Amino acid sequence: MKYSSSTEKAEHISRCLELAILLEVSAYPKPGNVHRTADFPETRYEHFLASAVAIAPSFKNAAEQGIRVSEGKIPPSEVGMGNIIKDAVDRMRRNQSGGNTLLGAIILLAPLAAAAGMVANHFSLPRLREKIKVIVESTTPEDAVDVYNAIFAVNPGGLGKSPKLDVTDPTSKKRILKEQVTLFETFKIASAYDSIASEWVNNYPITFDLGYPYFIEQLEETGDINTATVHAFLKVLAEVPDTFISRKVGQTKAESISADAGGVLKEGGLTTPSGRDLIQKLDIKLRDPAHDLSPGTTADITEAILALNNLNGYKP
């Protein structure tokens, strides 16, 4: 795609990521999560829609920074990834009353926006992935402090405790600056127990190597964006136990839920009566008020998968 200006390119990238969030939260019936026909008691479908619209300017800013890198105006270390993430989280909080809707998605998608801006000509997913690696590995200690502030501000559920530089420890930010620990390095610490951090430090393998190819296969097979999205969500959940759930109730329970998701796909998912019946049963299980096992991390990764599809030229 050719652009008449850098602004047009940045706006296009931002729209692709905004649409990815809107498509993911609209996909139904995703078991255990908010979608167009299901809400949580305090967080509704509309809260996610409002959040997606609110954070779009942050993605545009990230894309503009990536463009500046491609033009040689700034080095990758000056993109300000931490500030971009914090700005998006602040916008999310100011513009809706449903609490933390998109923290994980913001952390995953912000580097995609900057990386897409860095791809100067002839966009391709391999080139995008190369630029993502540059962006995340060029982050700074100041970026880490900004992200710690963003995470602390929303106090996400199931955060747990980190063995080192815990985000809830008031001394962590001082240590980060004193010891010059970059944002990338803090995500290395978290990568053992958090799939979003793992995506950052391992160049998005779930997104690029597992989720996106399966999504494209399902989109071609069914011709339906909703079915492809729900099936991609289930595929990721089946292959990668949701780390939000594992932190909340343990790895064994998370693996059991992954097995359930795999069983849904084995029965055909949304394309068969038995698959739809199993989706409903899994949804009831995950929404049990006694446990509240929302696969939130899986939803975040699904948004990244849809972002790749949109950046690669998809139009609904």
Could you tell me the CA-to-CA distances from 163 to 19, 94, 106, 108 in Å, in that order?
36, 32, 24, 23
**pLDDT value, residue 158:** 47
Q: Is residue 206 part of a domain?
A: yes
Q: Is residue 99 part of a domain?
A: yes
Rounded Cα distance between 116 and 132, Å, is: 8
Q: Is residue 21 part of a domain?
A: yes
**pLDDT value, residue 70:** 97
Q: Is residue 280 part of a domain?
A: no
CATH number for the domain harbouring residue 49: 1.10.4200.10
Domain with 195 in it: 6-223+294-311
Among 163, 164, 51, residue whose Cα is nearest residue 102: 51
- Number of structural domains found in the chain: 1
**pLDDT value, residue 156:** 60
Residue type, 120: A
Q: Is residue 30 part of a domain?
A: yes
Q: Is residue 85 part of a domain?
A: yes
**pLDDT value, residue 16:** 98
Rounded Cα distance between 316 and 8, Å, is: 20
- Predicted confidence pLDDT, tens digits, the chain (316 residues): 778 899 999 999 999 999 999 999 999 999 999 999 999 989 999 999 999 999 999 999 999 999 999 999 999 999 999 999 999 999 999 999 999 999 999 999 999 999 999 998 889 999 999 999 999 999 999 999 999 999 989 876 544 555 577 787 889 999 999 999 999 999 999 999 999 999 999 999 999 999 999 999 999 999 999 999 999 999 999 999 999 999 889 999 999 999 999 999 999 999 999 999 999 999 999 998 777 789 999 999 999 999 999 999 999 9
**pLDDT value, residue 161:** 54
**pLDDT value, residue 36:** 96
Q: Is residue 134 part of a domain?
A: yes
Among 183, 74, 63, residue whose Cα is nearest residue 115: 63
**pLDDT value, residue 159:** 47
DSSP labels for the chain?
---SSHHHHHHHHHHHHHHHHHHHHH-TT-TTS-BTTB--SS--HHHHHHHHHHHHHHHHHHHHHHHHHHTTSS-GGGS-HHHHHHHHHHHHHHT-SS--SSHHHHHHHHHHHHHHHH--SS--HHHHHHHHHHHHHT--HHHHHHHHHHHHHH--TT----SSS-TT-TTHHHHHHHHT--HHHHHHHHTTT-HHHHHHHTTSHIIIIIIHHHHHHHHHHH--HHHHHHHHHHHHHHHS--HHHHHHH-HHHHHHHHHHHHHHHHTTGGGSHHHHHHHHHHHHHHT-TTT----HHHHHHHHHHHHHHHHTT---
Q: Is residue 236 part of a domain?
A: no
Rounded Cα distance between 48 and 37, Å, is: 13
